[in-house]
Chain A
């Protein structure tokens, strides 16, 4: 589960008392947090807790209202296109029109465009990188298939390949398993775990599904419009913390599943 990188971890994303949102509406307040190279971090929290804001901040799309955010040692406000290309991003399902008239290879090639820069045409080397990315996710046999004809799980693999085609250092995944059946959810998470280990990628995985990721991540970040808790899953997933954040009677079962207590049977 742990990544290969452990001894000499470099901080690559640093929040220093950073607040995000719009004037008058703070979505994430006073966040101080460091993410090191090679970490596998899960980001959890109820709806409206600031998870998507955290994603936008890490992508450099939202500058802090107060405090500082450094990505790759660069202040967020000064982030350039080539910095952004180092963060591979998988948006939430539903954000992208999955029936867009585009083939699998065209989708993955788009991952190269930012890294290539303006005025350059994609060449054989870019195609090779895209094909390698497709091979990493096991979709190399579908290059000419229409994106809209793939299953939900296959589409997620293609979008992960698109992110990999950027040759990123960080993989940022916003609820990658939402809307997938349970087997596919498992397969997608296995793929992410595999990429984390094989390519040494830093992974930030935003999810609602605590049970699915708790055994896979090095560290959990629990948000509730601020950093509520951060640390190894066992430290964060304590009944008292969960109850405080989710406001429900969450219980941890004998086999470590987190479920909502059923009032009718107690």
Chain B
């Protein structure tokens, strides 16, 4: 196994997995607490539609993925804010519409394009140095924003109206969170694919949720679980020659079920936050 680590592609993959795992699990804390799981899943499919259009037209895939992702989350946020339609309905419509667009764009391509399918299923082992630089750059933007606005983001995740009433610019923070979700999804697309990316956002934070009652501890647990599962998933993928996306997600799911069994929240004795 140590031999594997000497290869450039393996080092790049592990670094990409650690970055994406960390990023997804960090934003996942706010997604889980604010109840935006479905919004994120919809965004991943919208971003994939962007990628498909980009390959069809010969435009830059990352740019279109970001554009499609952002437009979808902003529409979702706007619909939730207006409260005129149930969020799961509006996202359900956006989700399927963007997926239909993706299939349409792929259908319009004259030839089979393996790279497009790479975005659908992901393959961290094929991450190029250029992609790694993009992942690192966008990670700095997302993590930097979370660090800068963490108190406001925690506050709106707890209760947006109460946050706004106490003087937090809640609406702006909500749209910032949606933007960060879209960027995270786009960054992770190449690594785990549009179908599985949201598992990486949801599972670490949901696992951490089982284990603590403290916001700060939950964030740290989620980050550690996200990074460890992603790195271990890539190693298993290389060792056993299995696809990397499912390896990461299935390992995370296993850890999630273990956390449910071990959860102090399910024991009868009262406990402190940690």
Question: Is B214 an interface position by the 8 A CB rule?
Answer: yes
Residues of chain A within 8 A (CB-CB) of B166 are 84-85, 88-89, 110-111, 113-115, 163, 166
Known contacts: A81-B168, A89-B166. The answer to whether A113 contacts B155 by CB under 8 A is yes
Q: How far is the CB of B101 from chain A (nearest CB, A)?
A: 34
Question: Is A21 an interface position by the 8 A CB rule?
Answer: no
A81–B273 touching, CB < 8 Å: no
Question: Is B58 an interface position by the 8 A CB rule?
Answer: no
Residue among B152, B167, B213 making CB contact with A148, cutoff 8 Å: B213
Question: Is B89 an interface position by the 8 A CB rule?
Answer: no
Contact string, A108-147, partner B, CB cutoff 8 A, digits 1/0?
Answer: 0011011110110110000000000000000000001111
B272–A101 touching, CB < 8 Å: no
Give complex CA distance A239, B139 in Å: 66
Residues of chain A within 8 A (CB-CB) of B168 are 81, 113-114
Give complex CA distance A107, B159 in Å: 11
Question: Is A91 an interface position by the 8 A CB rule?
Answer: yes
Question: Is B274 an interface position by the 8 A CB rule?
Answer: yes
B164–A101 touching, CB < 8 Å: no
A101–B152 touching, CB < 8 Å: no
Contact string, B158-179, partner A, CB cutoff 8 A, digits 1/0?
Answer: 1101111111110000000000
Residues of chain A within 8 A (CB-CB) of B218 are 101
B214–A95 touching, CB < 8 Å: no
Known contacts: A145-B273, A146-B271, A146-B272. The answer to whether A84 contacts B165 by CB under 8 A is yes
Which residues 207-227 of B sit at the A interface, judged by CB distance below 8 A? 209, 212-216, 218
A102–B214 touching, CB < 8 Å: yes
Give complex CA distance A87, B165 in Å: 8
A102–B158 touching, CB < 8 Å: yes
Q: Which of the listed residues B161, B169, B214, B273 has the most CB atoms from chain A within 10 Å of its own CB?
A: B273
| Interface residue tally for chain B (C-beta within 8 Å) | 30
Question: Is B149 an interface position by the 8 A CB rule?
Answer: yes
Give complex CA distance A118, B165 in Å: 15
Which residues 103-154 of B sit at the A interface, judged by CB distance below 8 A? 148-149, 151-152, 154
Residue among B33, B164, B167 making CB contact with A115, cutoff 8 Å: B167
Give complex CA distance A115, B152 in Å: 11
Question: Is A59 an interface position by the 8 A CB rule?
Answer: yes
A110–B154 touching, CB < 8 Å: yes
Known contacts: A102-B213, A103-B273, A147-B213. The answer to whether A84 contacts B164 by CB under 8 A is yes
Residue among B158, B165, B214 making CB contact with A89, cutoff 8 Å: B165
Residue among A96, A106, A121, A166 making CB contact with B167, cutoff 8 Å: A166
Give complex CA distance A95, B33 in Å: 14
Residue among B149, B152, B154, B214 making CB contact with A103, cutoff 8 Å: B214
Q: How far is the CB of A261 from chain B (nearest CB, A)?
A: 38
B169–A118 touching, CB < 8 Å: yes
Question: Is A248 an interface position by the 8 A CB rule?
Answer: no
Told that A97-B158, A144-B273 touch, could you supply 7 new A-B pairs with CB distance under 8 A?
A61-B164, A101-B218, A102-B215, A106-B215, A114-B166, A145-B273, A146-B272
Pick the 3 closest A-B CB pairs, nearest first: A114-B167, A146-B213, A85-B167
9 A-B pairs with CB atoms under 8 Å apart are A84-B166, A101-B209, A110-B163, A113-B152, A113-B163, A113-B166, A116-B151, A146-B273, A149-B213
